[in-house]
Structure 1
Amino acid sequence: MRPGIVLFYFFFPTVTKGCCGKKQQRILTDQLFLHYKAVEGEVFAMPCDPSEKSNVKRAEAGEGKTCGEEFVAKVAGANRSFTGSNSTLQVIAKSSLRCFKPEESSVMLLVDAGGSIPCPGHACYNNTGVVWYKKNRPVSIARDSCVKDGELHLCTVYKEDTGVFYCDRRITEQGVAWIFRRAVHVKVIPYLKANFPPVVKYPAANMSEEVELGQPHNLTCEVDFDFEVNISRKVEWFVNYGGDMDNMTLLDTEQHHEVSFSETKVTQTHTMKEVTPQHLTHAYTCFASNAVGNSSVTITLKRKKQVKWPSLVGYPFGCFLLVICLGIILNVKWVELQLIFRSRFQFGKDDGEKEFDVFVSYVWTGPSAEAVNGLTISSRPYSDAGEMQSREEPIEMRLPRVLEDQWGHRVCLLERDILPGGAYTNDVVLTINRSRMLICVLSAEYLASSDAVFVLESGVKALLQNSALKMLLIWTRGTSASFIQPEPPLPKLVHRALKVLPSLQWSTDTPSTATRSFWVSLQKAMPADRARLASHLQ
């Protein structure tokens, strides 16, 4: 039992006899005194004047305290006064008291029984009466109780009685009437001794906890204890090496507890910084005890299994997610996928009866034809003899010559083969339908020309409708699919097509091997029968 606590449970049958069995006279103060005494270190609360609601303030410290507010009385020296607006508080040093018993300031009472609370120092002074308060309310008004020889007798003790009770005694010193207020801390308890041994709530007996090797792990033991005044509860973790119950070693633990009115929940934890394979071979015991008895639980550790989705749930769910993802990809990239498929694999019927083999679309950006007429052109587009001259000639002029004169293809050029006076859009669409292949020589000027972009867009639409049509892009003068966006911006269909359609790169700055590779790749991309014809003519 802790010092300073007095138990009146044992005296209850005698001290309350004749007090609670009959109606008692209620003792009340007939006026509010203006002079109060308190003992340093004790809790104090100035009663409120119902008519004035006055405040008590610490004059020296400059701190205000509202009436009814509890605080610890302090004093710099003996008999120093603290004055307020209407009341005077004098704090007395403990050493100046006639008799001072610290144990009188604390009391334990049993719930649902009767109990007595003594007034500290009552026998040391000439008292003219004792009035008990709880907070700012006289106990005799709120409770079935009585005061006998200064002691407060409660007929029935409730859980809510836990708190501070005040006993006020009237004393007279040098002709001045004082109220000497003393505080008593009351704690209501369910019973003195525990009635049951501890109960281990977690872990369960003979269970195995899953752990991950190389990771930290906490061994947690949760135990419920019955209330007891003299605390005897204890919780410990032991390790049993190799599972041998006779070879037990105490482990370092941390404790956390939650206290309620009738029980205490204790959580005892041992922390493993890193789980090793050796830990899996040991057993671990949580041992709990109190004054009534003890209980223990032994567990083992096992390696945590990888989480696997059940086939009846995981596989359908995974397939559903896969279908959703594929649907999103197809919805976003459907046009690109169609263009890739149709430009690489031709399934349409190519009967060879088209009027033109190649429809060449370009925007002239080089020098005039007369300026390049003096260039020497080799009989073969990639021969070593005329390589320098062939690379200096603009591709827009060179390409039709090679396709017609050297490879024997029937080439269509809008400015040459389409009669003037017709509708441009109709002429373009009709020419594409009359051709087996569309070659677009792309440059910054080409992509900035609305007429040229219309030809490219019409070819893409025709390719999506007729898989027999072939398309080829020739990028010139360092342009590529990642070129700077032109003004006005390209249509979305054209922008997507530029990323996926077959293409070749032409540049006059490339070495002869790259130029030769360009013509070889171009020849392979031409319609098959004309390619064979070109090879035969050469």
Structure 2
Amino acid sequence: MVQGSLQKSFSVDINHTDPNQWKQANSNIMVKALLLLLFLYAVNGLSVEKICAKSGEMVALQCPSQKPNVIWSLPHNKNQSDLLITDGTLVLLRASEEQQGHYSCSHSAFNKTFDLRVYTTLTGDCENVTQYRTLCFSEYTCTLDCPVTNTPPKTSPDLTSKGVTWQQDGRILSEDDKYYFPSVQETDRGVYICVRSFLYGNQVYNTSFTVTLELEPEETIKNEGIISPHPNQVFFVDLGSPLVINCTALIFSDFHEIYWKMYDFSINSSASSRVHVSNSNEILDDGEKSTVSLIFKEVSKEDLSTVFTCKLESTSQHPVCVNITLALKERPSYAAMTSTAVVIPVVMVIFVLIYIKYKIHITLFLRDTFGCHIRASDKRSYDAFVMYYMSEQGPGLSEDDRRTLQSVLEDKFGYSLCLFDRDVLPGKAIADAVLECVEQSHAVILTPSSPDLTFESALLSAIHKALVERQTRLVFIKNKPTEKTEAIVQSETLQMLTDMGNCVTWEGSLALSSFFWKELRYHLPPVKEPHRIPLLPQ
């Protein structure tokens, strides 16, 4: 009865209600219903975030606020091993397919749900979630950032970051947080893997990300970036010395800023500071080249342990940072320098002494083995002219000794000799013939002999003059003095020839290995192909 009346009354009210009032009431009901749904959505955790993780890798589920009193709800009947809660973040050290499902975190101010999916082979459902794309422009700088999505917070006391490793096709490229390209080329296009490693206990756990580098032509969009210095570049310095390091960037946007900082604080431009900065700009056709100089009045010891960062911020791209450090120049070892300064002169003196003592042997070895000699390129016909002088210290060389001297030089050593009694035809004046022999020979060998084979003093004077003018070598063979030999004064002309030439002592019939032949060959010019050309026509 009550119900019926209520229904009747209600129906009458609706039927008699103005149409505009009905529309307004209906709109109010819909707004209230929507607000109620949003309230239930927030309170009951209806928002679900999809998380994809590779099997065997670490994944971290982070609540909106990292508070220790966060309450986590895990999937029922799931493997709950290898789980860690640190700073309100739930960390699965090695995700497995058994751990898939909905994870919820709740606090007095929030409630969030994660849909964890663990894959072994990447499929289309997770591909868009795990792939990261970086667009770079040909011939410009580019930096690949390793994502931090679903990784433990840096402030976690339980996990220690072990750094980042960049890989491509199984090759390790870098171990820096960012992978830097000073000038991107077409060959750099492709897929890069960055792996973040964390230490927990005695185990290292990894989280990998796939970063795809895509290229666009240079003329499409101008890419801003720092062109110098290079990332992690080390500048070698001397303590107390001034230093200027320029950070140069290409900029194509209207709103930008480039500056140096250390310890997360910008370095000021006050010239009174020991370390300050100075700015300069160069206008280009389609942008500008901006340079900020880091100036040290004098480098201190504390600068060697400081990381200086050049940072470029602009509205057209993400910030770009380049870190540099200072290091002491390597000082040369004074002990090594002192040793070198002592050893080198000693070695040189030893070599000089060895050469002085064995110069004849060394010269003949080089001449015979390697052909190391300098031979005049004139048109002289003979290697040496053998002529005789009257010995004042003995009988001179016998006929057998003269034949031995001639045959050894010609037959054994290959010299081309000019012999007066063989190569000069009769009928020519003796003086003219002798002088012509001297002119046609590279050397003259004066041999002691009996008086009937020697030349007059006047002719010897003419020979001396010819030798001086033609710069012809003179080898003076003398007898070995004996105990019975008295000191005899030589003639003035013979003394001049003796002083001019190189003296070799004849000690009788000698073997080919004797020092006499080595010394004689040393003073004679290098041998040439034997030949004999008569000075006078038949």
What TM-score comes out, normalization by structure 1 length?
A: 0.24
The structure carrying a bigger strand percent of its residues is 2
What TM-score comes out, normalization by structure 2 length?
A: 0.24
